[in-house]
Structure 1
Amino acid sequence: MAKLMPPNNPRSTARHLMLSVTGTLLIMTKSHTIMIVDDHPLMRRGIKQLLELDSNFDVVAEANCGSDAIIEAAKCQPDVILLDLNMKGMSGLDTLKALRNEGIDARIIVLTVSDARSDVYAMIDAGADGYLLKDSEPEILLENIRLASKGENVFSDAVTQYLSSRDEQVNPFSELTERELDVLQEVARGMSNKQVAFELHISEETVKVHIRNLLRKLNVRSRVAATIMYLENKQY
């Protein structure tokens, strides 16, 4: 008769079922369960097909929005969640926070097209276990997901550079001109372009140019992201 021996840690990444059959020890590796959260059906299908190349992965759930992801995660308790950042409705950031608040202890890996520093920092601070870019080579992406399933934190190369520079506590506004910093301060106060122009005695078109330049220098994509960065780093 086969004797079932439970693994020491049922949620560890080295799950095994050990069966002793007529004195012979057989080891059967159990798949790591994956949930894919992305609002694009084609992207979900592509990711699933990539994961199917590795027999150790088992996609047990998919979700096209944050609210569904929370329900599915609670029901399936996946080992790894691949989470898109920019989704309709609940954002990836809000979804991540909600998953952590619900006590979901899966490895949550952000899989996105955004390489903006503000997005990277926000997701890592909210509890993401990794941040991978969708333009990664399939082989590299698959290997990173393997590492994540084994408990490692995984980041694309560009993201690793961002995190390294963040650790150095570099002034994020050092490249801004004095006028660009003035504009940013007014934007952070919630002023419109017209109000900023009036306050600084410059044209509205000049304000737009300054905002475009400071967004590029700060490597963020929106006024909101620039405002968040400013408020988080006002000591500089």
Structure 2
Amino acid sequence: MPDPIRLLVVEDHAFTRDGLIATLHLEPDLRVVAEARSGEEALERLEQVPVDVAILDIGLPGMDGIQTAAEIARRWPEVRIVMLTAHNLRPEVFASLASGADAYCLKSAQPELLLLGVRAAASGSAYLDPQIAHHVLSGVRAPDETVALTPREMDVLRLVADGQGNREIAAALGVSVSTVKLHIQDILRKMQVADRTQAAVKALRSGLL
């Protein structure tokens, strides 16, 4: 028998956390080795215990799940990340993917779907709950052939995809923050997306970057 998948469960509501852990403990190939109530506490646990998959609630107090996912991806790239949320909001989906999440699951879904997401993430695959998959499909279609970004817009888009803020982009390119904002507005319009996170994900998934 292969070693069980080691899990970290991060959920601030004790009732939900306990129920989730109880469900996971029923699976012989899964083992909860740590739990946390906040993003900050999750990072402390990862310093102490080897983990294969971190299951993160998006709506954590303080450092939210998306910020926590990004920090885990930066410090422990070998740890796979499953986002767990009660919402199927499009901005949350794209922000989660951009932060480094490997799976996105809904709390309202059947437990079997969460288990599927955990196992998919642990195996190196990606998983999206069927209820939110259409957000990704509609948001990461390749840019239309008539869309052409200028070289400077491409520079801005690369820095956006790297997670840089407007001030950081302005400093890197030697332009004003106002100029960066104008470039980003033009990029969003040309790529037909609503925000910079969608632009970054769409560019990466479509091969534009």
Relative to its length, the structure with more helix (as a share) is 2
Q: Please, what TM-score do these two structures have when normalized by structure 1?
A: 0.59
Change (3 A) 1:103 1:140: closer
> Does structure 2 retain, via aligned residues, the 8 Å contact 1:73–1:104?
no
1:65, CA displacement in angstroms? 0.4
1:58, CA displacement in angstroms? 0.7
List gaps (5 residues or longer) in structure 2.
145-183, 193-209
Equivalent residue number for residue 135 of structure 2: 162
The 2-side partners of 1:168 and 1:136 are apart by 26
- Matched residue of 1:128: which SS? coil
Task: Please show how residues 22-41 of structure 1 align to structure 2 within 5 Å.
Answer: 28-41=1-14
- Matched residue of 2:132: which SS? helix
CA RMSD of the aligned region, Å? 2.2
Size of the aligned set, in residue pairs, is: 152
> Does structure 2 retain, via aligned residues, the 8 Å contact 1:81–1:107?
yes
1:52, CA displacement in angstroms? 1.2
Task: Please show how residues 168-183 of structure 1 align to structure 2 within 5 Å.
Answer: 168=141
Equivalent residue number for residue 148 of structure 1: 121
| Alignment pair present for 1:60 and 2:33 | yes
Relative to its length, the structure with more strand (as a share) is 1
Equivalent residue number for residue 181 of structure 1: none
Q: Point out the structure with max Rg over C-alpha.
A: 1
Task: Please show how residues 55-94 of structure 1 align to structure 2 within 5 Å.
Answer: 55-94=28-67
Greater Cα offset, 123-132 or 100-109: 100-109
The 4+ residue runs of structure 1 with deviation greater than 4 A are 229-232
Of residues 161, 185, 188, the one that matches 1:233 is 188
Q: Which has the higher contact order (CA 8 A, sep 6+)?
A: 2
The 2-side partners of 1:98 and 1:60 are apart by 20
Equivalent residue number for residue 167 of structure 2: none
Equivalent residue number for residue 81 of structure 2: 108
